[in-house]
Amino acid sequence: MIDWTHWHNEPYLIGGLIFFGWLYAVLAGPYREPLAGPGVLYPRTQALRFYSALVIFYLAVGSPLDQAGERFLLSAHMFQHQLIIYPAALLFLLGLPDWMIRPITGYAPLRRVFHFLTRPLVCGIVYCLGIQTWHLPLLYDWALQDRFVHIMEHFTFFGVALFFWWPTLSPATEFPRASYAVQMFYYVGVTIGMTPAFAYITFSQDILYPTYEFAPRITWLTAAEDQLLAGSMMKLGGMIVMMIAFGVSFYRWYQLSEKNLPDTNAARKN
């Protein structure tokens, strides 16, 4: 059964989170003026978002939810992934001031690479392929059996989630957000692109992952019902997020059109 008092405190997890928190504090504190210039205030709102992302990431992978998802319930594992992909990655990007990442995004030798990798089409493909590849039975069950592979799976999900959010939440002036019109098409395209994984998990007549087929039942759900719930969570959770994001982009586009103002994001070549 699940030990609800067990929280992961491995050095690589706690140390990694502390390192990123410390690095942000140093860059936003003593190094703020050299990076941003004189007179720039401490980014309180952005710092709150960034540290919230670290907390959510830890709750997803360090709390007893990880044990539930790793040993017993595919639906718990799916919820864990959604925490990583949506609020954690979203808040992480929203917490980064432009001047803090400019030494990387403004590095001239990497500009062409970044320009290609941050195109909406590329970001959408990277996200869809990354998520769906890990849901193949061989890789997914391997991650459940090998702790190191499981960690790599979670970091991959977080990484491709950053790609997913970049075209619409980019903090970098060198590689700005896509126009609102492109953002709306982007959300629709990603929703369609993720359909194969949803259909594969939800409508499969077989239990796809042996770990969950033979796991002790800690809820009233059978393995088949748990798999159906997990697939539904993937699709419905994704669609809800996409609908909200689409609505925000549409509202902002509508506001600009009503005021006859140009979409400043449209200057980028998408």
Tokens of 1: 């059964």
**Mean pLDDT rounded to a whole number for the chain:** 92
Over residues 2-27, mean pLDDT:
90
| Residues 217, 123: Cα–Cα separation, whole Å | 38
Over residues 84-88, mean pLDDT:
97
Residue ranges per structural domain of the chain: 11-267
Residue 133 near residue 139 (C-beta atoms within 8 A): yes
Over residues 250-254, mean pLDDT:
93
Task: Kindly state the DSSP code that residue 260 receives in the 8-state scheme.
Answer: T
- CB 36: neighbour CB atoms within 10 A? 18
Helices (H), the chain: 11-28, 32-36, 44-62, 64-71, 74-83, 89-94, 98-105, 111-117, 120-134, 137-145, 147-169, 180-193, 195-202, 210-213, 223-258
Which amino acid is located at 270 in the chain? N
| Residues 121, 186: Cα–Cα separation, whole Å | 8
Whole-number pLDDT of residue 78: 96
Confidence bin at 265 (pLDDT 50/70/90): confident
Which of 15, 14, 143, 129 minimizes the C-alpha distance to 71? Answer: 143
* 40 pLDDT more than 80: yes
Over residues 12-40, mean pLDDT:
94
| Residues 150, 197: Cα–Cα separation, whole Å | 19
Burial class (CB within 10 angstroms; exposed 0-12, middle 13-18, buried 19+) of 226? buried
Whole-number pLDDT of residue 266: 56
| Residues 197, 82: Cα–Cα separation, whole Å | 14
Least confident span in 18-22, 39-43, 50-54 = 39-43
Whole-number pLDDT of residue 256: 87
- Counting residues of the chain whose pLDDT is more than 70, the rounded percentage is 97
- Which positions ≥6 away from 189 have C-beta within 8 Å? 124
Confidence bin at 269 (pLDDT 50/70/90): very low
Confidence bin at 145 (pLDDT 50/70/90): very high
- Which positions ≥6 away from 170 have C-beta within 8 Å? 93, 118, 176, 177
Confidence bin at 6 (pLDDT 50/70/90): confident
Least confident span in 34-38, 174-178, 229-233, 256-260 = 256-260
* 85 pLDDT more than 80: yes
Whole-number pLDDT of residue 178: 94
* 268 pLDDT more than 60: no
